[in-house]
Structure 1
Amino acid sequence: MKGNLKILSIGGFSGYGESNTCLHRTWALEELGEVDRIDTASKPYTIYLRVINRLFHKGFNVRFPDFLSVNEKIITQVNTKKYDFIWIDKGLFINNSTLQKIKLINPKVIIIGYSPDDMSQRHNQSLNFIESLPHYDYYITTKSYIVEKLKRMGVKKVFFTDNAYEDKFHFPRILNDVEKEKLGGDVGFIGVWEEERANSILYLAKNGVKVRVWGGGKWIDYKNKFANLQIEDKGLFSEDYSKALSAFKISLCFLRKMNFDLQTTRTMEIPACGGFMLAERTTEHLNLFEEGKEAEFFSTDEELLQKCKQYLDDNEKRNKVVLAGIQRCRDSGYSNKKRIKSILNVILAELA
């Protein structure tokens, strides 16, 4: 990779504490070049913005307001410094006119969009985003099945990449007994409520498996109502997130049905943290980790229950899978730095 790359990274850096994957990607960029940041996270998330978002989701073509003057800050920064790359992480607040102005100021700069979400679906979009798509030089998606959709929406070039973990945040933690008790348990899940995953977790609990859920929100409705089910009032957005993945004997990896996921960030994060991953079986999961050796998978609640009981009873086999999963993450280059370096190298080779 060419040295001394100058990169402007634009994204929502200030939410979700240090478990923020947008922030993680910028950490990786900072290892690959000289990076300036512009934060797009709207604080506070006002009622007005909620209303605009709801109207857009219902089909009204209304633009997101730019409360933080992000677009103005971008133009000021591009006028101040000549960049090689503009990296825009889920640019919901970035206007079409801003990307056009960037190219007028610096015609050689490469504008790259990235999102870990399904940006072909309206609940993940904004009108600003849709209008700006034709002005990205490249768009990077972790959803293999939307590559052609994004091209039809106007993107010049679309790359698919698998998800990644952040090696400065997602790594095996050495925990004492107090931390294990505070954060872990037999079987754990960290994430938001969805009906399908809730039903699977209840199936485990009703069949004698102890499950602990960190998530808050709608999960609170289940609190103290089911034997073997421990519901916590919040999610985990600090180093406790990585610690919990290390503390659980088994970490469940569910996929969001509304996004048609075949993999998710937890696909990489759980093994990288030294967690035993029991995930929904998909073709992409099977390509990323060898079943029964580096991770385990399930297709039905019955199989989920059987594998939970099997591995809770077999500490030696469970620990072997954990160690192999960690090694697979490292050997196969699943970190943010290696993923992003590979992407930038491909782009630089095309431009050579």
Structure 2
Amino acid sequence: MKILSIGSFNGLSNTCLHRNWALKEIAEEIDMVNIREKQTSWLYRVANWLFQKGLPIPLPDDSNANKKINAFVKKSVNRPYDIVWIDKGLMINPDTLRNIKKVSPSTRIVSYSPDNMVLRHNQSLNYLKGISLYDIHFTTKSYVIDKLKGLGARRAVFTNKHYEHTFHYPRDLSKEELDRLGGDVGFIGIWEQERCDSILFLAKNGIKVKVYGGGKWQEYNNIENLEILPAVYSEDYSKALQAFKISLCFLRKINADLQTSRSMEIPACGGFMLAERTSEHLELFSEGLEAEFFSSNSELLQKCRYYLQHENERKQIAIGGVARCETSGYSNRDAVKRMLEIVQLNG
């Protein structure tokens, strides 16, 4: 299989990079175009701001990704790509997609996004104008399939979130790492009002919580029982998910999430996950055996208190979460392989 992989490949904690790793494992031959090769320009930021305000302004291609894609496709005319995989290609132009089909009609063009692409803040004019030109759209939002088709998608398929098996896995943590990165209850992620309210509720009720996150989180640095630290990345990110006695998993309300990347990454790293209870979380992990869930702040507090006092149960559930990730094929490698099979079988 010959693949052209297009996405943002910066940063070891980047899930797009992780999916690219999986593609590299599977493909016999692969070329790559990094759409974030150059730093985001002021022109890009202004164009995005205007688009968010409702104006039909396309995003500029700061890294010349469209030009590079066309060059790769032209160069490969004698042995065309089987698949062009575009990972949230907000600045990929419809003319580029048309050119791929013109030069290589047999090539399948795949769109993948971990975000809710029916919401304006996740879109671009470039994406909306080209949405009908993709052969298939993979989405991690089960509830947007019909809406994607309403926007023009020819085919939309749901896939769960995934974890990277070479990056998210249980480690033998030293006492220094446990002390430095861990704690009773922890959360890694950006500030949102609902998750902040839940964490403040825990702290107010005597639960020690450590948060790794910048921005607005810094305003809460003087709250009793709450420790705010800068965001963690790379190895420390995976280690911290494991080092917390209880690792919290909140969902982004702005995206109406039913699962998130943390849903897979926490259990895969060997962490004990306490996540918001949703239908998809309950399908992914058995409650009380492979993860724990809550539906209110009072239940969150009750479960934190219980599991902080029951270490053996906590450890057994964490072990169950690791096993479920492996046996159910939640890794990028397994998931990307399934997606590519869907593309080929329904080409």
Counterpart residue number, 1:288: 284
- The equivalent of 1:19 in structure 2 is 13
SS at match of 1:255: coil
Letter matched to residue 181 of structure 1: D
Paired with 1:173 and 1:153, the residues of 2 have a C-alpha distance of 44
Aligned 1:57-68 pairs, distance under 5 A: 57-68=52-63
> Within 5 Å, which residues of 2 pair with 1:254-265?
254-265=250-261
Say if 2:247 and 2:273, in contact at 8 Å, map to a contact too.
yes
| Contact preservation (8 Å) 2:43, 2:60 | no
CA drift of 1:57 comes to 0.5
- Does residue 199 of structure 1 match 2:197? yes
Distance in 2, Cα, partners of 1:179 & 1:44: 33
Deviation at 1:21, TM superposition (A): 0.1
Deviates more, 1:42-51 or 1:170-179: 42-51
> Are 2:205 and 1:211 aligned?
no
How many Å separate the matches in 2 of 1:43 and 1:305? 44
Give, as a single letter, the amino acid of the residue that structure 1 aligns with 2:183: G
Whole-angstrom distance in 2 between the partners of 1:118 and 1:90: 11
SS in structure 2 of the partner of residue 139 of structure 1: strand
**Aligned-pair CA distance for 1:42:** 5.5
State the AA in 1 paired with 2:161.
N
Report the TM-score when normalising by structure 2. 0.98
One-letter identity of the residue aligned with 1:168: T
The correspondence of residues 162-201 of structure 1 with structure 2, limited to 5 A, is: 162-201=160-199
Query: Is structure 2 residue 47 aligned with structure 1 residue 52?
Result: yes
Aligned alpha-carbon RMSD (Å):
0.8
Q: Please list, as runs of the form range in 1=range in 2, the aligned pairs for 1:200-349 lying within 5 A after superposition.
A: 200-223=198-221, 225-232=222-229, 234-349=230-345
State the alpha-carbon separation in 2 of the partners of residues 35 and 231 from structure 1. 41
Between the aligned partners of 1:291 and 1:35, the Cα distance in structure 2 is: 40
Counterpart in the other structure of 1:133: 131
User: Which deviates more from structure 2 when the two are superposed, residues 298-307 or residues 60-69?
Assistant: 60-69
SS state at 1:235 partner = coil
Query: 2:22 is matched by which residue type in structure 1?
Result: A
Normalization by structure 1: what TM-score? 0.96
Identity %: 55
AA of the residue aligned to 1:62: I
* Residue ranges of structure 1 left out of the alignment (5+ in a row): none
User: Is it true that 1:43 corresponds to 2:41 in the alignment?
Assistant: no
Aligned to 1:152: 150
| Alignment partner, residue 98 of structure 2 | 100
Conservation of the 8 A alpha-carbon contact between 2:66 and 2:96: yes
Where 1:104 maps in the other structure, the secondary structure is helix
Query: Offset at 1:91?
Result: 0.8
Code of the residue aligned with 1:24 in structure 2: it is: H
Letter in 1 for 2:61: D
